[in-house]
């Protein structure tokens, strides 16, 4: 038996507040100016919000109002919590995108290298907004093709937030974290829930035993009921292990955009290139190419070419074509990984402009990604798999036994 653990956080966690502010501002700008270049970082601490970064746009948005409204919506509406949307101090330090970066994005290396008179494809004109590596991952251990530990952790965090915002558990406060340990058999199949840990901010006069009971009934059990095949008979439940969690949010810990990138992605079950998502417009491949890598990996698993698949994409700043595509199926592929990589390159156009177009990324969709994870959610375009048949048609391997992708 093997154990693996992932964590998630609620919308009131300080790092997630920072992510939401960055993405709320991005959405407001991109709604008015889809061609805007946005790279915003947020820091929150007791009574303060600091937003810094680079924005090049024709739009004007009321950033201060957006920030205050969002903080209130999250649930920080009282200065007694050390963070209040109505009174928090807001500092904006925002410049414009460096012309050195804009030069490569506006006109790619490929476009600049063409001889006079050559005609370029539209997708060749835009270069990547930065160099870097991006990973995507998929596994068949859940219906969402996501790792089970992070899936359960996000579901618990969502239930915790819903219990608070609905008033069903009225003594909860916005900050919270969940953590799930799953046991796997030696073949890598999930077989049971070893441990569930929940740390939930609460009012100061709450009895710990009452809270343990309430969270078990309203948060934990409804999630576990969706997985009847998992062994939960001996699951260890831990609620607020220090016994008290009253001081939380930015009063308890400063929060920064991008500090929960593992929570945002695969819970540590796959590698991560290091680039954060929130606050960045889709010309930044840290975001758009990470979405595309998940899109590709999910196609591989959904088409039954592998039970697990990790994709790595590499880009150079100012270039359109990725420098490299790497495929790892961890021994679960029905054909060699090299053939899958070749089929991917023939099926998917992974130039930044093509990714943006295919996944329809110039829309104000980003605030909803800032909590609950960026992957495994059907409302996002990168979670759809319309190219399964195209991908399978590129596989020509005599020893392959390809399953029906719709089984």
User: What is the structure's pLDDT at 397?
Assistant: 65
Q: 3-class DSSP state for residue 307?
A: coil
User: What is the structure's pLDDT at 405?
Assistant: 41
2-9+148-248 topology per CATH:
GMP Synthetase; Chain A, domain 3 (3.30.300)
pLDDT of 104 higher than 80: no
State the Cα angle at 253 between 249 and 164, rounded to 5°: 20
Tens of pLDDT, residue by residue over 137-178, are 999 999 999 999 999 999 999 999 999 999 999 999 999 999
Measured in whole angstroms, the distance separating CA 377 from the mean position of its chain's CA atoms is: 10
pLDDT of 407 higher than 60: no
Structural domain boundaries of the chain? 2-9+148-248, 132-142+258-393
User: What is the structure's pLDDT at 125?
Assistant: 61
132-142+258-393 topology per CATH:
GMP Synthetase; Chain A, domain 3 (3.30.300)
pLDDT of 105 higher than 70: no
pLDDT of 375 higher than 80: yes
Measured in whole angstroms, the distance separating CA 400 from the mean position of its chain's CA atoms is: 33
User: What is the structure's pLDDT at 129?
Assistant: 61
Mean pLDDT of the chain: 90
User: What is the structure's pLDDT at 122?
Assistant: 66
Tens of pLDDT, residue by residue over 54-78, are 999 989 999 999 999 999 999 999 9
Topology agreement, domain 2-9+148-248 and domain 132-142+258-393: yes
Which residues are catalytic, by number? 13, 15-16, 41, 54, 177, 245, 253-254, 259-260, 280, 284, 286
User: What is the structure's pLDDT at 404?
Assistant: 45
Find all residues with CB under 8 Å of 300, minimum gap 6, and list them. 138, 306, 309, 311, 327, 329, 340, 344, 391
Tens of pLDDT, residue by residue over 220-262, are 999 999 999 999 999 999 999 999 999 999 999 999 999 999 9
Output the pTM of the full model. Answer: 0.91
pLDDT of 117 higher than 80: no
Give the pLDDT mean for 77-83. 89
Tens of pLDDT, residue by residue over 298-354, are 999 999 999 999 999 999 887 888 989 999 999 999 999 999 999 999 999 999 889
């Amino acid at each position: 038996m093997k154990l693996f653990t992932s964590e998630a956080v609620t919308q009131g966690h300080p790092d997630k507040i920072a992510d939401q502010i960055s993405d709320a501002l991005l959405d407001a700008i991109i709604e008015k100016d889809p061609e805007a270049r946005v790279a915003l970082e947020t820091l929150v601490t007791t009574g303060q919000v600091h937003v810094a970064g680079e924005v090049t746009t024709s739009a004007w948005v009321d950033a201060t109002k957006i920030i205050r409204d969002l903080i209130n919506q999250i649930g920080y509406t009282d200065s007694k919590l050390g963070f209040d949307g109505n009174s928090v101090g807001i500092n904006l330090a925002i410049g414009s995108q460096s012309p050195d970066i804009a030069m490569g994005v506006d006109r790619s290396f490929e476009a600049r290298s063409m001889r006079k008179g050559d005609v370029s494809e539209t997708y060749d004109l835009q270069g990547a907004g930065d160099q870097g590596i991006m990973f995507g991952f998929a596994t068949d251990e859940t219906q969402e093709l996501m790792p089970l530990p992070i899936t359960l952790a996000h579901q618990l965090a969502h239930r915790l937030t819903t219990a608070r915002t609905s008033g069903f558990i009225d003594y909860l406060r916005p900050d919270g974290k969940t953590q799930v340990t799953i046991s796997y058999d030696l073949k890598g199949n999930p077989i049971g829930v070893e441990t569930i840990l929940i740390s939930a901010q609460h009012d100061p006069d709450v009895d710990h035993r009452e809270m343990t009971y309430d969270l078990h009934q309203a948060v934990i059990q409804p999630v576990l009921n969706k997985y009847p095949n998992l062994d939960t008979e001996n699951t260890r439940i831990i609620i607020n292990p220090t016994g008290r969690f009253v001081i939380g949010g930015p009063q308890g810990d400063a929060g920064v955009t991008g500090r929960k990138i593992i929570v945002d992605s695969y819970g540590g079950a796959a590698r991560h290139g290091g680039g954060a998502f929130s606050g960045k417009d889709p010309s930044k491949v840290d975001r758009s190419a990470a979405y595309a890598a998940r899109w590709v990996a999910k196609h591989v698993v959904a088409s039954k070419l592998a039970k697990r698949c990790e994709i790595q994409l590499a880009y150079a700043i100012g270039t359109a074509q990725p420098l490299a595509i790497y495929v790892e199926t961890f021994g679960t592929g029905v054909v060699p990984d090299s053939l899958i990589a070749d089929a991917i390159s023939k099926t998917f156009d992974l130039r930044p402009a093509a990714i943006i177009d295919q996944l329809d990324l110039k829309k104000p969709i980003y605030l909803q990604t800032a909590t609950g994870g960026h992957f495994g959610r059907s409302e996002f375009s990168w979670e759809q798999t319309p190219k399964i048949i195209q991908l399978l048609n590129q596989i020509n391997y005599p020893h392959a036994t390809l399953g029906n992708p719709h089984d």
